Amino acid sequence: MDRTAVRLHAPATAKGLALTLRPWCPADAPELAVLHRDEALRRWIGSVVDDEAGAVRWVRTQQRGWLEGDRFAFAVVEARQGHGRDGDPAADGRLVGHAVLKRPGRDGPSAEVGYWTAGHARGSGVAPRALDALTSWAFDTFAGDGLVRLELLHSTDNTASCRVAEKCGYALTALLPAVPNRFPLDGHLHARLLPT
């Protein structure tokens, strides 16, 4: 899959600008490093970036996932009207989040989705719009390979993520016990099935 060609779109709402989801690129590293200074964000994500060099490494990991076909990570940016050519990150608007599809078993029936929202963009509907776009793309792209179920995991005390999951049609299916060092708190497992 040509990672540079994949661009997803979510419409504007009364609360926020239209969104574009596109693969991460090295030019995102400085802004990504700044966003990761947010303590609320650092609390909920597993892979924290401490500086610009760490952000560059993180972006490379995301790019490697596209090449290997097991992790499809998107930078979520505010879409600018009249921006430059597709695929030019300099033409994109401000970075507002991250969305990812993880498919370690590429021909398996299930995959995992995840997301986060930048501190300055919380409350503007970024997460549900990005998750809806990612969900549609995942089923459209991988249903032919057997994908029929998307799963979303979060800590039980992350009530905002729970609301986003439910708003996007991901039903709560299980309570998961903590797994020390990897998932230190009890969790919720949400799932959404391929529409029939």
Q: Rounded to 5 degrees, what are φ and ψ at 19?
A: -120, 145
pTM: 0.90
pLDDT at 45 (0 to 100) = 80
Q: What is the DSSP annotation of 47-89?
A: S---SHHHHHHHHHHHHHHHHHTSEEEEEEEEPPTT--STT-G
Q: pLDDT digit of tens for each residue in the chain (196 aa)? A: 665 689 999 999 998 899 999 999 999 999 999 999 988 888 878 777 889 999 999 999 999 999 999 999 999 999 876 544 444 555 578 999 999 999 987 788 999 999 999 999 999 999 999 999 999 999 999 999 999 999 999 999 999 999 999 999 999 999 999 888 777 889 999 999 999 8
The answer to whether 43 touches 59, Cβ cutoff 8 Å, is no
Residue labelled with tokens 């039903």: 171
CB 102 within 8 A of CB 150: no
> Would you say how long the chain is, in residues?
196
d(C-alpha 187, C-alpha 163), whole Å = 14
Q: What is the spatial distance between Cα 161 and Cα 94, in angstroms, rounded to a whole number?
A: 22
Which run of H or of E encompasses 154?
strand 149-155
What angle (nearest 5°) sits at the alpha carbon of residue 80, between those of residues 79 and 81? 120
